[in-house]
């Protein structure tokens, strides 16, 4: 019944998930063979912000991350490898720091004490997998961007041919869309190379949508 999703005015844009359908599928059904602890997610809070009020930290996000940096991504959250609860990460920088070594150092609630002194696996999760938001599963172990550079993820609208785009903004404000462009930029601006910036510090891997039908299937002829 869900296979025939009609795009309905995708004009509404944004990346709000239609909700319902299957909220239970992700519970603990089984993140299955895949090691859930490796998965990191960014989500768009657009649809609901109830939980936001209950969390003191989310305030900082609201003014900081959401506003100024990326309208597409509302917040960053990581799943505890032990209890499987989702913990909000207070800053993008911290998120990127965790993501960079998520495989070698799986995230656990205890680590959230860096910004939430007494949190444990017994505390309720910061955010739940209800269908009210768009969840994007990020790729693990992506290098942190060089100092002064910013890596941005833009989630595309539902029904498109692609889920998201990644681009980097240089310290000078230049937006770069591919490794080819990065490489060219570095050649034209050797001072960054002198600072130690290398191509290996960049990745254009995009996250995957939790809902597979978010992206339009191939046209098929």
Q: Which residues bind DNA (CB under 7 A)?
A: 13, 71-72, 154, 156-157, 160-162, 165, 175, 177-181, 204-206, 218-219
CB burial of residue 2 (10 Å; 0-12, 13-18, 19+): exposed
Nearer to DNA, 88 or 182 (CB): 182
Nearer to DNA, 62 or 154 (CB): 154
Nearer to DNA, 16 or 55 (CB): 16
Nearer to DNA, 50 or 220 (CB): 220
Residue 13: left (phi > 0), alpha (psi -120 to 50), or beta?
Answer: left
Q: State the minimum distance, in angstroms, from the CB of residue 168 to DNA.
A: 11
Nearer to DNA, 28 or 212 (CB): 212
Q: State the minimum distance, in angstroms, from the CB of residue 148 to DNA.
A: 18
Q: State the minimum distance, in angstroms, from the CB of residue 126 to DNA.
A: 26
Q: State the minimum distance, in angstroms, from the CB of residue 218 to DNA.
A: 6
């Amino acid at each position: 019944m869900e296979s025939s999703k009609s795009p309905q005015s995708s004009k509404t844009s944004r990346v709000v998930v239609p909700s319902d359908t299957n909220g239970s599928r992700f519970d603990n059904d089984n993140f299955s063979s895949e090691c859930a602890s490796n998965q990191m997610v960014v989500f768009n809070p657009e649809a609901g912000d109830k939980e936001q009020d209950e969390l003191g930290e989310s305030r900082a996000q609201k003014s900081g991350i959401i506003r100024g940096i990326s309208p597409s991504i509302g917040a960053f959250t990581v799943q505890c490898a032990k209890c499987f609860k989702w913990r909000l990460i207070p800053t993008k920088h911290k998120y990127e720091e965790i993501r960079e070594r998520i495989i070698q150092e799986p995230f656990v609630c205890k680590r959230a004490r860096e910004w939430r002194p007494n949190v444990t696996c017994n505390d309720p999760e910061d955010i739940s997998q209800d269908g009210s938001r768009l969840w994007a599963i990020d790729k693990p172990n992506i290098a942190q961007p060089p100092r002064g550079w910013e890596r941005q993820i833009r989630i595309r609208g539902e029904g498109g041919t692609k889920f998201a785009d990644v681009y980097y903004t240089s310290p000078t404000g230049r937006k770069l869309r591919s490794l080819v462009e990065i490489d060219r930029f570095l050649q034209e601006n050797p001072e960054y190379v002198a600072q130690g910036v290398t191509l290996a510090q960049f990745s254009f891997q995009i996250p995957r949508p939790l809902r597979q039908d978010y992206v339009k299937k191939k046209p098929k002829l």
